[in-house]
Amino acid sequence: MIQFVSMLAAIALTALCWGVYGPVLHIGSGQLGSALRAFMCVGLAYFGIAIVVPSAILARAGEKGSWTRTGILWSLVAGVAGALGALGVILALRVFGGAPVVNTLLNATMNKAFDQLKAPFLAGLILVITGAATVLVFKPQAAPHAAPAPAAAAADAQATAAPAKTVEKKAENVLGVLLSAAMAMLSWGAYGPVLHKGQTAMAGSRLRPLICIGVSYFLIAVLVPLALLGPTGDTGTWHPGGLVWSLAAGSLGALGALGTILAFACGGKPFTVMPVVFGCAPVINTFTTLALAETKPDSVSPVFLAGLLVVAAGAATVLAFGPRAHAPAKAHG
């Protein structure tokens, strides 16, 4: 019972961190005026929380488990998936709905465990996906700020003068958002099963997989964007407020990764852990967005509230009927 409660606490930590992650990162990216700069801040936060801190703990106190080539490889791949998912989130925030599907199918394929996907579990998965999509689609919208009269007039004149160019630009934006969402959905859907493989191969270690994730994030989210700032003609600035918001988002992402590892260490499986995380995270994401935008309560629609209930019912069903696993065995010696 204690192990199950610990798993729930770890899942709650991940869902909370990843739910708040998107809105906080969106603010940071906006203040920096650059998705690449915000992404670099995420990587720097991972370097501190997922590499420096756990390395110091390992050196001082040690931990069960061991470094293995297989575990390092899988954990590094998990970090790559997480970093690509984070980049997709920067470019398109509505990615949670499809991730549980990718997670479930990939995990069943990797472990040859399609026989574990019973009807109640699949029904709960469908509820989670449906509820998450409903929450994101019907979430209350913040009232738009009125543009100054000269700026509004100039925008109208530009739209009237070049309607074809405006339509083309909108189409390009839609395509970019869809591609970014697909990248994030596939990456985060693969994240759980791959990370679970890495942690299992390291005999249930908690800190070693986290360090590997941090290394992947540092390479992909810091070094690569740093090299691209010049060639892409990035026009952003290192705004202090944007730095704080983006670093905070990266810290939330790293803590969410730790929560996922802890949930697996308490006996959770990607089959169960990740759908619940991706079901609850958009709910938290939505309420965080509404709080930051100071949206009025009377703008909340009944459909949105129904979506919240569907997510809750689906998450409870997934937890109740999901495949079970025992905690990783303790290393001897």
Is the overall model pTM greater than 0.95, yes or no? no
Q: What is the chain's Cα-based Rg? A: 21
> Where in the chain are the domains?
2-142+166-321
Residue 329 has pLDDT above 60, yes or no: no
Distance CA 231, CA 6 (A): 47
Residue 237 has pLDDT above 80, yes or no: yes
Tokens linked to 164:
């074809």
Distance CA 102, CA 98 (A): 7
The pLDDT value given to residue 191: 87
Please give the average per-residue pLDDT across 2-9, as a whole number: 87
Tokens linked to 49:
């929380």
Evaluate whether 82 touches 220 at the Cβ level (below 8 Å): no
Non-local CB neighbours of 178 within 8 Å, separated by 6+ positions: 92
Give per-residue pLDDT as tens, 247-301. Answer: 999 999 999 999 999 998 888 888 778 877 877 777 787 778 778 776 666 667 7
